[in-house]
């Protein structure tokens, strides 16, 4: 579904310095696979996501979706950002409909789908509210609906729970798994949290920094549906310890 071949990305800073954000990244995500990207800050996780979104062009290599090269944003991807970034002047429903509106595809079917999605994430009855009347978690739920409203095949999530408190975070993790089970999509999910990645993903892509490279791709061998009770399982603990070792080196990994 999503294929990256030898992808590199070099940014030029204001001072004219070249910064290599990604180098030699090759990755293939299957249709409806849940792939998490973890790694230290500056490992290019977010850049990788923006390459797939078509918001950034690669300096080397190629990105393709379903066989065609990504050269610009595509209608079959949806994005969720770290901050909900809802429009403060628009109601929750209008925020969810915003992508359709911008694409000039606003119709009754889209409206019905938006209401459906809002019900799916537990925001039924909040359609006419404004973002400021919602909690952070509810705003991010609306942000997820907005990313899904045009029914994309691919969902890109850039640390979507990074700004939320721990409890809301767990709640939304379960929520995302439920949505994914009900409406299968290929998901690329960037996170700082190793347990979150292991719980969510079919495969966890572990990245190293400066320049961003793939250190290893870890298969997660846990049955679905999953929940937080699985954190006690040996497979879960093996996977998290292994990923931690990859990121911090073995000594640090054993100490925890």
Partner 1 sequence: MGAPIKPPLPRWVADVAQPVGALVLFVALWEMVCRVFHVRAYLLPPPSAIFTDTAQLAGPVLMHTLATGETVLLGFAASVLVSLPLAVLITSSPLIANAIYPLLVLTQAIPKVALAPILVVMLGSNELPRVVVTFLVAFFPLVLSIAAGITAVPPELIELGRACKASRWRELWRIRLPYAMPFVFSGLKAAITLSVVGAVVGEFVNADRGLGYLIQTSTAFFRVPLAWGALVLLSLMGIVLFQVVVIVERVFFPWAVDLDKQTV
Which residues form the interface with partner 1 (CB under 8 A)? Answer: 50, 53-55, 72-73, 75, 77, 79, 81-83, 85, 87-89, 98-99, 101-103, 130, 132
In whole angstroms, the minimum distance from the beta carbon of 183 to partner 1 comes to 19
Our CB check for partner 1 shows the closer of 40 and 54 to be 54
What's CA 66's distance to the chain center, in Å? 19
Torsion sign (Cα): 97, 98, 101, 103: negative
Beta strand 203-208 with 34-38: parallel, antiparallel or unpaired?
A: parallel
In whole angstroms, the minimum distance from the beta carbon of 103 to partner 1 comes to 5
Work out the burial of residue 114: count CB atoms within 10 Å of its CB; fewer than 13 is exposed, 13-18 middle, 19 or more buried: buried
In whole angstroms, the minimum distance from the beta carbon of 254 to partner 1 comes to 39
In whole angstroms, the minimum distance from the beta carbon of 72 to partner 1 comes to 8
Our CB check for partner 1 shows the closer of 99 and 195 to be 99
**How crowded is residue 128: how many other Cβ atoms within 10 Å of its Cβ?**
10
Contact present, 154 and 188 (Cβ < 8 Å): yes
Our CB check for partner 1 shows the closer of 132 and 251 to be 132
In whole angstroms, the minimum distance from the beta carbon of 238 to partner 1 comes to 36
Contact present, 22 and 61 (Cβ < 8 Å): no
User: How many Cα neighbours within 13 Å face the side chain of 40?
Assistant: 14
In whole angstroms, the minimum distance from the beta carbon of 171 to partner 1 comes to 23
Our CB check for partner 1 shows the closer of 130 and 215 to be 130
Contact present, 95 and 118 (Cβ < 8 Å): no
Length of the chain: 256
Our CB check for partner 1 shows the closer of 88 and 223 to be 88
In whole angstroms, the minimum distance from the beta carbon of 133 to partner 1 comes to 10
Our CB check for partner 1 shows the closer of 69 and 102 to be 102
Q: Where would I find the H helices in 43-165?
A: 45-53, 92-103, 108-120, 136-148
Identify the CA nearest to 172 among candidates 151, 144, 206. 144
Which tokens hold the place of 38?
């973890």
Our CB check for partner 1 shows the closer of 87 and 112 to be 87
CA Rg value for the chain? 18
């Amino acid at each position: 579904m999503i294929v990256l071949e030898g992808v590199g990305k070099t940014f030029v800073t204001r001072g004219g310095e070249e910064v290599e954000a990604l180098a030699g990244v090759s990755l293939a995500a299957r249709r409806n696979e849940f792939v998490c990207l973890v790694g230290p800050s500056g490992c290019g996780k977010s850049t990788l996501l923006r390459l797939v979104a078509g918001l950034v062009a690669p300096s080397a290599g190629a990105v393709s979706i379903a066989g065609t090269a990504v050269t610009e944003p595509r209608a079959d991807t949806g994005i969720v950002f770290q901050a909900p970034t809802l429009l403060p002047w628009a109601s929750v429903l209008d925020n969810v409909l915003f992508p359709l509106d911008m694409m000039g595809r606003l119709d009754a079917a889209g409206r019905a789908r938006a209401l459906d999605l809002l019900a799916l994430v537990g925001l039924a009855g909040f359609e006419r509210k404004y973002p400021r009347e919602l909690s952070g978690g509810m705003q991010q739920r609306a942000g997820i609906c907005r990313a899904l409203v045009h029914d994309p095949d691919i969902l890109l999530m850039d640390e979507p729970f990074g700004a939320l408190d721990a409890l809301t975070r767990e709640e939304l993790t379960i929520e995302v798994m439920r949505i994914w089970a009900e409406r299968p999509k290929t998901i690329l999910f960037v996170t700082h949290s190793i347990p979150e990645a292991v719980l969510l993903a079919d495969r966890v892509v572990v990245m190293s920094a400066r320049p961003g490279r793939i250190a290893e791709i870890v298969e997660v061998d846990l049955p679905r549906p999953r929940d937080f009770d699985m954190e006690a399982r040996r497979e879960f603990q093996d996977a998290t310890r292994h990923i931690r070792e990859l990121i911090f080196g073995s000594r640090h990994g054993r100490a925890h």
